[in-house]
Amino acid sequence: MITALLLDVDDTLIDTRSAMLAAGQAAVGQLWPHVGAQVHHAAAVRFHDDPRGFFGRFSAGEMDFAQMRQARVADLVEFFCLELVDEVNGRFENAYAPAFSANVRVFDDVWPLIEAVAAAGIPMGVLTNSSARYTRHKLEITGLAGVFAVVATTDSLGFGKPDARAFHHACTLLGSAPAQTVYVGDHVEIDAIAAEQAGLSAVWLQRDPCDCQGAARARDRAIPVVRSLSQVEALLVAHRRPRQ
């Protein structure tokens, strides 16, 4: 019997990737205009993809949010051989933040799910590896502030996904047992598999239809795969039916 729903935020509820690419391109373009549009785009992609894993270190509690962002900017400077700029971190953020806010969007399938779950009286919360301040900002500008009973973030816990304690903490805040909580997220490892290993009813949201490897990994573990949040309501209804 399912009693609660937990959701990831970035690229599950909010199209964070598109906003980050637009913001990264704007920031790099403002600080290093002479390197050209191709480098501006490539740097934005690298900033989002974070190949050196700084966001993972933040999620593990090894660095704070500001340190993580500064490390990612320093990585761009090193990788693309960009010239040193005075007060580079502050100037990058000053260019990045308004561009991100202007481009962040809620996916079309989010509000119908929220309305259906609220009508069913199922408590909802979000569990994200982002910071509390940044998450609050994203929820506010997308109109999602105040929708969720629980907003659990990495810096408020001291650790994040895939640590099982992050999932258990969010369940405790929601007042639900892990086994009675559905968790939906777009990352097959950090969201779906980690939630399943933590004892939740995991659902993988396959936002990228070409991610066949991720789909195979989820299905190998008998984790339901959905292409849209519109499919989650049916899963919740099925889980809430009393066992005969």
Nearest residue to 156 (alpha-carbon basis) of 139, 138, 173, 144: 173
DSSP state at residue 126: E
- 53 sits in the region (left: phi over 0; alpha: psi -120 to 50; else beta) called left
pLDDT, tens digit, 9 for 90 and up, residues 89-128: 999 999 999 999 999 999 999 999 999 999 999 999 999 9
Q: Write the single-letter amino acid at 51.
A: P
Q: Inform me whether the pLDDT recorded for 3 exceeds 50.
A: yes
Nearest residue to 184 (alpha-carbon basis) of 239, 133, 145, 120: 239
| CATH number for the segment(s) 4-15+105-240 | 3.40.50.1000
pTM of the predicted protein model: 0.92
Q: Inform me whether the pLDDT recorded for 182 exceeds 60.
A: yes
Nearest residue to 235 (alpha-carbon basis) of 183, 177, 162: 183
Residue given tokens 């991610």 in the structure block: 211
Segment 28-57 mean pLDDT:
97
DSSP state at residue 161: T
Assign 239 a pLDDT band (cuts: 50, 70, 90): low
DSSP state at residue 23: H
Assign 240 a pLDDT band (cuts: 50, 70, 90): low
Map out the domains of the chain as residue ranges.
4-15+105-240, 16-103
Lowest mean pLDDT among 87-96, 104-113, 135-144, 230-239: 230-239
pLDDT at 105: 97
Q: Write the single-letter amino acid at 150.
A: V
Segment 4-31 mean pLDDT:
98
Segment 214-232 mean pLDDT:
95
Percent of the chain whose predicted confidence (pLDDT) is above 70: 97
Percent of the chain whose predicted confidence (pLDDT) is above 90: 92
CA-CA-CA-CA torsion sign (241, 152, 94, 61): negative
